Chain A
Amino acid sequence: MMALTMNTGTLSTARDRRARLTRDAIGVLVILAVAVLGYLLFPNNLALLTRITAIALLVLSLDLVTGYCGVATLGHAALFGAGAYGAGIAAAHFGITDPIAMLAVGVVAGALAGLVSGAVVLRAHGLPQLVLSIAIIHLAHEAANKASGWTGGSDGLAGIMPDAVFGLWQFDLWGRTAYVFGIVLLIAAFVVLRQIVRSPFGMLCRGIKQDPLRVRAMGASVHGTLIRMYAISGAVAGAGGALNAISTQVVGLDSLSFTLSAEALVMLVLGGTGSLYGALIGTLSFLWFEDVVSAANPFHWLTIVGALLIAVVLFAPKGLYGSLAALIERRGRKGR
């Protein structure tokens, strides 16, 4: 049966396209369903849900360079922070208060930060690469701290007052508009990234992760490809940062911190690298778990989170989503 479908290229491409569209539609519906469920279950905690959405964009962005390209980084919050400060400074200092325009500024700032940190981080491999990424986040943090005239320094950047979305929806006290804005943004990013990761470009990135020498032997440029992916990754993280600035109306130094970078990596590993679903599931479960545990036991919550992480890494090394997907695949094969 396999051989039959293989021989007729046109027939199978049409079928493949339908299968891909179906899978993407399911993905979007699942995100929507989870978002609606969150809205109904926690109507008084929309600020947390919006924060999870913003961080999800950061973790998706990290997945692009770490999960798909194999770049080791502990400095990815630099891209998120660039987006947050970009959008915040545009609003507070330049009067750009239209949320879409703020988002655009965040995306561009994130992409530029991606280009710069990519250019530095990609000079090395392995541990030196990790060290470079740590240096970048510390430098960025310090720069934002010093430039307090622009960033508000350690007090944070205040005075961000976004207008209504399309002049129609005001950002309300309960954070409803911000939440919907965030979910729409996340779904848009998800749809675009699904395209990119399975495009020829995405395939090339996966190849680079597995064997850069082989990629070169095919005549492709490893460095150029990775730099481009870094810029895309920066745009996504920058969108997350901008969302954070728009929804909380402040930007703090924590958005540009080593801690946030490391936590993003933890969330990605928790969910499973190299898959967009893994990034989403990792973010959601980590931040939700952190919220529940820190409320229940404010003194030992870090210990509990640590224990959970060790359990996942030891017993589900591919992460929550990765392990589940592998299990289903094995089941499916047995059934066949």
Chain B
Amino acid sequence: MSAIFDVRNLKRTFGGLAVTNDVSLSMAPGDRVALIGPNGAGKTTFVNLVTGNLLPNSGSVALGGEDVTRLGPTERVRRGLVRSFQVTRLFSEMTPEEHVALAILQREGRTGRMFASHRAMPDVMDEVHALLARLGIAHLARHRVSEIAYGQQRLLELALALALKPRVLLLDEPAAGVPQSDTARIEQAIADLPADLAVLMIEHDMDLVFRFARRVVVLAAGEIIFDGSPDAVTKDARVRQAYLGSYADARSVA
């Protein structure tokens, strides 16, 4: 079995509570996996653990057969493991053009250069504008991020991940906060991803999930309760239970 991404028995507790409890998940090149689950199930924590932003209590992460559990986040990105953030993290004083240029230059190991401007590099600029155009934000290339709408910032967040040309891409609710009119752009960009890329997407919109995923993983209270086909997931009793439970909780809290 040729897993590009292999997580084994990952566990992490916060104050005694297991937020990620014995989670194992592997993906092969070309996989399209949706990770779903109620709010607070531990989906974002899972991504943080896998990318090295959080340290696990136990378990391992391997990329292309190499154990990266002890490597920092930067090293994992360099090995092709790239994520996007659920809440956009961008440089508010910089422009989309600068963001994407920086990602491309970093991918090519050129961010150490001190006596050149990215604007004087036609190859970089062409790629920047092609990518921004694909996401429909080319007209904002030279606006400061603090001046552009949140929905468009979400598109830029995705552009950054794409510019790094990952082998494994983890998307944390890429469409969250995006107005309906722009979700099609995001969905299209995701559909256009290279066929051999392994993609794991966290998403709440089930229509999107069903169009995207060939496999659905359900996380509830830190544990995987379902891993199977999109058809089977709606019929699964435990999944229904988890979602009903969380809605019932939400109501009683509110």
Contacts and interface: CB of A to CB of B under 8 A. Distances in A.
A2 interface: yes
B126 A9 contact: yes
B111 A204 contact: yes
Contacts of B106: 204, 218-220
Given A204-B102, A207-B94, 18 more contacts: A2-B141, A9-B125, A10-B122, A17-B117, A200-B112, A200-B118, A207-B91, A211-B90, A211-B91, A213-B53, A214-B85, A217-B73, A217-B85, A217-B89, A218-B103, A218-B106, A218-B164, A219-B164
A13 interface: yes
B120 interface: yes
A195 interface: yes
B1 to A, nearest CB: 27
Interface in A173-225: 195-196, 198-204, 206-207, 210-211, 213-214, 216-222, 225
B222 to A, nearest CB: 23
A3 interface: yes
B91 A217 contact: no
A297 interface: no
A217 B125 contact: no
B129 A7 contact: yes
A94 B149 CA distance: 62
Contacts of B94: 203, 206-207, 210
Interface residues of A, number: 35
B113 interface: yes
A210 B91 contact: yes
A222 B141 CA distance: 25
Contacts of A222: 74
B191 to A, nearest CB: 23
Given A217-B83, A218-B77, A221-B74, A211 B89 contact: yes
17 contacts: A13-B122, A196-B114, A196-B115, A199-B117, A204-B111, A206-B93, A206-B94, A207-B91, A210-B91, A214-B85, A217-B83, A218-B77, A218-B164, A219-B78, A220-B74, A220-B111, A222-B74
B138 A6 contact: yes
A142 interface: no
Contacts of A225: 111
Contacts of B73: 216-217
Interface string B141-169: 11000000000000000001000100000
Nearest to A205: B111
Interface string A225-261: 1001000000000000000000000000000000000
Contact of B121 (A3, A7, A13): A13
Contact of B111 (A6, A196, A200): A200
Contacts of A214: 85, 89-91
Contacts of A216: 72-74, 77
Contacts of B122: 9-10, 13
A219 B115 CA distance: 21
Contacts of B141: 2, 6
Contact of A207 (B102, B112, B113, B138): B102
A200 B83 contact: no
Contact of B119 (A13, A195, A218, A220): A13
B120 A17 contact: yes
A16 interface: yes
Interface size bracket, B side: 35 or more
Contacts of B111: 200-201, 203-204, 220, 225
A221 to B, nearest CB: 6
Interface of B: 51, 53, 72-74, 77-78, 82-83, 85, 89-94, 98, 101-103, 105-107, 110-122, 125-126, 129, 138-139, 141-142, 160, 164
B25 to A, nearest CB: 20
A199 B115 contact: yes
A246 B28 CA distance: 65
Contacts of B90: 211, 214
A207 B120 CA distance: 20
A219 B92 CA distance: 19
Contacts of A221: 74
Given A9-B126, A13-B121, A206 B77 contact: no
Interface string A3-19: 10011011011001100
A200 B77 contact: no
A217 B51 contact: yes
A20 interface: yes
Contacts of B115: 195-196, 199
A201 B74 contact: no
A3 to B, nearest CB: 6
Contacts of B113: 199-201
Contacts of A218: 77, 102-103, 106, 160, 164
Most buried by B among A195, A211, A216: A216
Contacts of A210: 91-94
A268 to B, nearest CB: 17
A230 to B, nearest CB: 14
